[in-house]
Chains A and B, each alone.
Chain A
Amino acid sequence: LAKTTQPISMDSYEGQEVNITCSHNNIATNDYITWYQQFPSQGPRFIIQGYKTKVTNEVASLFIPADRKSSTLSLPRVSLSDTAVYYCLVGEEDSNYQLIWGAGTKLIIKP
């Protein structure tokens, strides 16, 4: 069965770059790795996804090594508004539809 591991929490300061790593093994070979952000009292929302190597969008970058056993979400120059919980989501190996959520990393940005 696929399994994901993320740090429970992280602290950083405004303007810094933050990297959050999710370890995941036995994930679906034909599926992407997706990251979500959740603020208090809201549902999670999509940030970024990728299959391999590096993906960048307007809010984050995602680094995925060739073996796909981990992925690293990179938030450049964080601000207080980036304080949230971040989840990785992967597909289960040998399953057509089962998805596995990470337990989430609570990121606190300090002024």
Chain B
Amino acid sequence: GAGVSQTPSNKVTEKGKYVELRCDPISGHTALYWYRQSLGQGPEFLIYFQGTGAADDSGLPNDRFFAVRPEGSVSTLKIQRTERGDSAVYLCASSLVGGRALDTQYFGPGTRLTVL
């Protein structure tokens, strides 16, 4: 079946602009994660959804970052007033249940965000 997809694959924007990054998880997966990954670094946790609700948003760096998953499927990560430091690859993963390392996460290819 289809894996996790993310759009766009690349996004170039100017400092101060607003961006939206989309994630389409595997159908039937309850859990959805957003991560940020800078070059040479491991995934940095941002937010974890169980169904429609954010079970843990402690990784969001500040209030410029927001994510939604209104119907428990597709999720959108929204970044306001982008800064150059936001440049990174944003990864989305979904899993069947979520919340445990036991539950395999399936990752999308990521969106590479570049803020000029």
Q: What residues make up the interface of A, taking CB atoms closer than 8 Å to B?
A: 28, 31-34, 36, 41-46, 49, 85, 87, 89-91, 96-99, 101-104
Given contacts A99-B45, A103-B41, A104-B42, contact A45 B102 (CB under 8 A): no
Residue of B nearest to A98 (CB): B56
Q: What is the CB-to-nearest-CB distance from A62 to chain B, in angstroms, rounded to a whole number?
A: 12
Given contacts A43-B109, A97-B48, A97-B55, contact A90 B42 (CB under 8 A): no
Give A30 to B101 CA distance when docked, in angstroms: 10
Which one of B45, B105, B110 contacts A46 once the chains associate, using CB atoms below 8 Å?
Answer: B105
Given contacts A42-B109, A44-B107, A99-B45, contact A32 B55 (CB under 8 A): no
Chain B interface SS verdict (over half): loop
Give A85 to B56 CA distance when docked, in angstroms: 26
Residue of B nearest to A4 (CB): B42
Cβ B101 vs Cβ A99 within 8 A: yes
Residue of B nearest to A102 (CB): B42
Give A33 to B107 CA distance when docked, in angstroms: 18
Cβ A34 vs Cβ B101 within 8 A: yes
Give A82 to B108 CA distance when docked, in angstroms: 20
Cβ A96 vs Cβ B102 within 8 A: no
Give A97 to B55 CA distance when docked, in angstroms: 8
With A46-B105, A87-B43, A104-B42 already in contact, 20 other A-B pairs whose C-beta atoms are closer than 8 Å = A28-B100, A32-B100, A33-B101, A34-B101, A36-B105, A42-B107, A42-B110, A43-B107, A43-B109, A44-B91, A44-B105, A49-B101, A89-B101, A97-B98, A97-B100, A98-B56, A99-B101, A101-B42, A103-B42, A104-B41
Residue of A nearest to B43 (CB): A101
Give A97 to B49 CA distance when docked, in angstroms: 11
| Residues on A with beta carbons closer than 8 Å to the beta carbon of B43 | 44, 87, 101
Cβ B104 vs Cβ A41 within 8 A: no
Give A42 to B104 CA distance when docked, in angstroms: 16
